[in-house]
Amino acid sequence: MQKAEIKGKWALVTGASRGIGRQVSLGLAEYGCNIVLHSRETVGTDTLAAELTAKGVQVLQVAAELSDEAQVDAMLASVLASTPGIDIVYNNAAIMTPYRSDWKSVPAEDFRKSFEVNVTALVRICHSLIPGMVKRKWGRIINVTSGIQDQPELIAYSISKAAVDKFVTDTASHLKGDGVLINLLDPGWLRTDLGGPNAPGSVESVLPGALVPALINDGTTGTLFRAQDYVGQTL
């Protein structure tokens, strides 16, 4: 794979405090990428920030509840004021609504909540960061989706991920030739707080595959990358 040089670039990783976001942040730091770590409270990324700083990269910590538009906007304003601009964004943070055994009775609240966090905030973050990327003629947007299927018990979550998929393919059509690649990442079913203890994969198995859409240099955009396709590979 012909890799882009991401040393010294700035990445924003949402939901960096644990699970997949934490792994992605560790992986990006190995490539010398500076990182803005997001979670709901900055204390959630304190340990990771120290770990990454020890690797010699610059780290900022930000907090925002993604269902709160004002907090999302304040976070974006602070990120843009404290960095030369975000080159890479992993929209990774998400919530999974409760498993509804009675799948024909899903409260409207499930849809509202999952769309606010998983879709509306993600789109707002992309829309805010795309102009800077276009100006600098370089950007990598990685929106984390899911391979979930045939589980109407989790329909509010899975529909929110389908909305993310649609957002990515439609937005990619308007960024062609700008140097800004927007893609989807399916991490696989992994043992995290969200994935649960019965998932087949370890959270570590998301690397190195999760880094591929940040490192690609061949213009691929509007595409789905599956992290599990790269298990055991060297990029």
Residues paired with 90 in a beta bridge: 13, 142
Q: Minimum distance from CB of 7 to ligand NAP (Å)?
A: 25
The Cα–Cα gap between 222 and 167 comes to: 9
Residue closer to ligand NAP by CB (options 17, 171) is 17
Residue closer to ligand NAP by CB (options 123, 194) is 194
Q: Minimum distance from CB of 20 to ligand NAP (Å)?
A: 4
Q: Minimum distance from CB of 185 to ligand NAP (Å)?
A: 8
Q: Minimum distance from CB of 95 to ligand NAP (Å)?
A: 5
Residue closer to ligand NAP by CB (options 126, 138) is 126
Distances (CA, A) of 45 to 56, 94, 184, 194, 197: 17, 16, 24, 18, 22
The Cα–Cα gap between 193 and 18 comes to: 8
Segment (H or E) for 170: helix 155-172
Q: Minimum distance from CB of 43 to ligand NAP (Å)?
A: 9
The Cα–Cα gap between 142 and 153 comes to: 27
Site residues (CB under 6 A) for ligand NAP? 15-21, 39-41, 44, 65-67, 92-95, 117, 144, 146, 187, 189-190, 192-195, 199
Q: 79 with 131: CB under 8 angstroms? A: no
The Cα–Cα gap between 173 and 89 comes to: 18
Q: Minimum distance from CB of 102 to ligand NAP (Å)?
A: 23
User: CB neighbours of 69 closer than 8 A, spacing ≥ 6?
Assistant: 120, 121, 124
Residue closer to ligand NAP by CB (options 46, 65) is 65
The Cα–Cα gap between 232 and 209 comes to: 9
Residue closer to ligand NAP by CB (options 35, 138) is 35
Name the residue number minimizing CB distance to ligand NAP: 19
Residue closer to ligand NAP by CB (options 20, 106) is 20
Residue closer to ligand NAP by CB (options 65, 73) is 65
Q: Where does 18-139 have alpha helices with state H? A: 19-30, 46-54, 69-82, 108-115, 121-136
Q: Minimum distance from CB of 179 to ligand NAP (Å)?
A: 25
